[in-house]
Amino acid sequence: MKLETLEKDHFYHIYNRGINRSNIFSNDENKRYFLQLYHKYLSPEVSTFAYCLLQNHFHMVVRVETDTKQVTQSFSNFFNSYAKAFNKAENRTGSLFEKHFKRIKVDNEKHLKQLIIYVNLNPEIHFGKAFKTYTFSSFRETVSDDPKIVKNEEISALFGGKENFQKAHENRSISLSEELTLE
């Protein structure tokens, strides 16, 4: 499988999981450290529009702000740094993540909006946890007045305001629960 090239000024869905579907986070401190490293290595390279950290995988929606080689190297440095720290803390060796992080180019605004909602709803999709209060996703940060990682003003503009952003998530959450009860 050929990996998608990360191109400047394009949006991507970035995701990966633990090797053999094993956990990549043992506790909340791991997740905080992951976000701290993400900010350190990638904030100059990408603009973040959504993220969600679960026990054995993560999702991000980003816009690439620098050239391909630079952003790819920054992702590599970020993942390697986190894997080394996690392995040391957990007294383990070897690969933490599946081979390469996945990246799918977002081809239009509708896809971008649906993807942001999907990423923010991941706690509900996978664990039945309320997405509005889940600590390690971008939903709460996006509706706050003090974003740390996400570009909440751009996200708000994309959805036509914070209220519409929240309604889009609530409506999708309702239809998701209806879909799950039908199965």
| CATH superfamily assigned to domain 11-182 | Transposase IS200-like (3.30.70.1290)
177 pLDDT more than 90: no
Q: Percent of the chain scored above 90 by pLDDT?
A: 81
125 pLDDT more than 90: no
Q: Is 47 helix (H, G, I), strand (E, B) or coil?
A: strand
DSSP annotation of 43 reads T
Q: Is 117 helix (H, G, I), strand (E, B) or coil?
A: helix
Q: For residue 27, what are its two tokens?
A: 């506790």
pLDDT at 175: 53
Mean pLDDT of the 43-55 span: 96
Mean pLDDT of the 64-70 span: 96
Instruction: Name which residue leads in pLDDT, 174 or 162.
Output: 162
Amino acid 87 reads: N
In DSSP notation, 129-144 reads --TTT-TTBSHHHHHS
Lowest average pLDDT, out of 62-66, 123-127, 161-165, goes to 123-127
Predicted model pTM: 0.91
pLDDT at 129: 85
Instruction: Name which residue leads in pLDDT, 8 or 1.
Output: 8
* Number of Cβ within a 10 Å radius of residue 177: 12
pLDDT digits (tens, 9 = 90+) for 82-97: 999 999 999 999 999 9
Distant-in-sequence, close-in-space partners of 154: CB < 8 Å, separation ≥ 6: 47, 49
Count of positions (residues) in the chain: 183
Instruction: Supply angle C-alpha 95, 99, 44, rounded to 5.
Output: 95
Look at residues 34, 65, 51 and name the one whose alpha carbon lies nearest to residue 115.
51
Distant-in-sequence, close-in-space partners of 67: CB < 8 Å, separation ≥ 6: 8
- 178 falls in which pLDDT band (50, 70, 90)? very low
